[in-house]
Structure 1
Amino acid sequence: MTDTLDITRSALLGGLPHGFLGRAGGVSTGEVAGLQMGFGAEDAPEHVADNRRRAVAAILPGAALVMPYQVHSPDAVVVDVPWSHEDRPRADAVVTDRPGLLLGVVTADCAPVLLADHEAGVVAAAHAGWRGAQGGVIEATLEAMEQQGAQAGRIVAAIGPCIAQASYEVDAPFRAHFTPDDECHFAAGREGHWQFDLEGYVAARLRTCGVAAVDPLALDTYTLEDRYYSFRRATHRCEANYGRQASLIGLA
């Protein structure tokens, strides 16, 4: 990996400090080589800490990085002051209106969503796997933003690197979790299987909530192996571990 970070930004989020980070430019080695940002990846803690420092310096230098303990929940928390790593709450979205905080989530196929109400000065980062998205993490994030003065009709959202429909084969028990209204997010696959559009599903939930605009970046974590970590790709290759990339947003 080189020293240059791979950062994708969304035009909808404009000049706000933000970025969807890839795996380039970090110090982790082995199967998780690169900018591995998760403490749950059996990576050396000092490597993760160094990678996180590099990410903060690239997005919002001097900011306090705030990331939750992700559990595939529908829960969103409002952040007023940074917390310690040991005290981080179990949640899958973080919201703030305080400058100097850099909010983040880690993913490895799930959809990272960065949101902002530019006028109100409120931002959020959400981790939306299928379970969290179906359970209401998008709705909870928007509700928490509105509690801080945002309005859904002004909120814009970008969906970062996640597993694409062509790479996401699911079976009948998986599909049974969804209603007939969600049929449009499933494409026919081999017998007894379908291809699930996670990005489209998350985008649809955002639009149903009335957000002003959605920017799906269409970056497939599974196939773009030089750029992103992927849980499913690692599983298919019988690799012992997999890394996590981060998505960050803050207020200067």
Structure 2
Amino acid sequence: MTVEVNRARALSDVPHGFLGRRGGVSTGLYAGLNVGTGSDDDPAIIAENRRLAAETVLPGAILLNPYQVHSADCFTVAAPWDASLRPHADAVVTARPGIALGILTADCAPVLLADPQAGVVGAAHAGWKGALGGVTDATLLAMEALGARRDRIRAAIGPCVARASYEVDAAFQRRFEADDPANERFFASGRDGHAQFDLEAYVAHRLAAAGVRTVEAMGLDTYADEDRFYSFRRATHRGEPGYGRQISIIGLPI
């Protein structure tokens, strides 16, 4: 099966792709394009899926993804790193051609960013902790340090858990409202003592509030679309022993 790539109109002039599970070589529980090295999938199969992903988006490039820890930290990539020395961060930026920046997700929001005029790209993993902590703000600052301009940066938010699929408790909602009372608008009423959180809309808001003029939310729900995407939340609700991860990639042509 051909690797399925979801591309954003906002980034049409930059090599990029939000990939799902279609087109990989994993089987069984991880069937598809599982790139999660933290899963129990066969490491050789994961490596082949990573190769397929990179070659689909930016042939010949070196695929690099950080060791994600749900932080607001961003790492600037000046040169390829050894796989055993991956930086602990949840966003990466680069101005070096031939490097494909990758972010792994399984419900969190992948964000790809670019200032093509400056030749600077970035990728961020925005789970609720990182989003609230400012991972997208850190990414913008790192891109500016490489010569990007905030008013030229364009961003796209890929497949993530949608509001209809993301039930949270009252304590979760209070965290966001304590940061900004206006965050109440990202929560819809749910069952007693719970609400439905719109992660995608919140991340889009953070980007726009930071001065990004073009923000594309792709509206792809990882939880609801099992055929196309992996989902940690779906796997947990079903009591499954593991789950795959998809990858989102952006880079500068070689």
- The TM-score, its normalising length taken from structure 2, stands at 0.97
Instruction: For residue 203 of structure 2, give the secondary structure of its aligned residue in structure 1.
Output: helix
Q: What is the distance in 2 between the residues matched to 1:85 and 1:60?
A: 19
Q: What is the distance in 2 between the residues matched to 1:44 and 1:144?
A: 35
Q: CA deviation at 1:16?
A: 1.1
Deviations 1:4-49 (A, max 9, x none): 1110001111221100001011111111111001101111110110
Which residue number in structure 1 is paired with residue 243 of structure 2?
242
2:197 aligned with 1:196 = yes
Query: Which one of the candidate residues 136, 141, 144 is aligned to 2:142?
Result: 144
Q: What is the distance in 2 between the residues matched to 1:87 and 1:44?
A: 21
Q: What is the distance in 2 between the residues matched to 1:241 and 1:220?
A: 19
Q: Which runs of 5+ in 2 are unaligned?
A: none
Deviations 1:157-190 (A, max 9, x none): 0000000000000011211211222000000011
Q: What is the distance in 2 between the residues matched to 1:16 and 1:118?
A: 7
Q: What is the distance in 1 between the residues matched to 2:120 and 2:126?
A: 19
Q: What is the distance in 2 between the residues matched to 1:17 and 1:42?
A: 30
Q: What is the distance in 2 between the residues matched to 1:232 and 1:14?
A: 31
Give the counterpart letter for 1:50 in structure 2.
Answer: E
Which residue number in structure 2 is paired with residue 13 of structure 1?
11
CA RMSD of aligned residues (A): 0.7
Q: CA deviation at 1:105?
A: 0.4
Which residue number in structure 2 is paired with residue 28 of structure 1?
26
Give the counterpart letter for 2:183 in structure 1.
Answer: D
Query: Which one of the candidate residues 165, 168, 184 is aligned to 1:167?
Result: 165
Instruction: For residue 203 of structure 1, give the secondary structure of its aligned residue in structure 2.
Output: helix
The 5-angstrom pairing of residues 50-199 of structure 1 reads 50-179=48-177, 180-199=181-200
2:46 aligned with 1:45 = no
How many percent of aligned residue pairs carry the same amino acid?
62
Q: Which runs of 5+ in 1 are unaligned?
A: none
Q: What is the distance in 2 between the residues matched to 1:70 and 1:172?
A: 27
Q: What is the distance in 2 between the residues matched to 1:198 and 1:218?
A: 11
Q: What is the distance in 2 between the residues matched to 1:42 and 1:70?
A: 17
Deviations 1:115-135 (A, max 9, x none): 001111100010000100001
Q: What is the distance in 2 between the residues matched to 1:79 and 1:30?
A: 35
Give the counterpart letter for 1:13 in structure 2.
Answer: L
Deviations 1:36-91 (A, max 9, x none): 01101111110110000001111111100110000000000100111121010000
Q: What is the distance in 1 between the residues matched to 2:130 and 2:41?
A: 25
**Number of positions where the alignment pairs a residue of Structure 1 with one of Structure 2:** 250
Give the counterpart letter for 1:109 in structure 2.
Answer: D
Q: What is the distance in 1 between the residues matched to 2:249 and 2:127?
A: 17
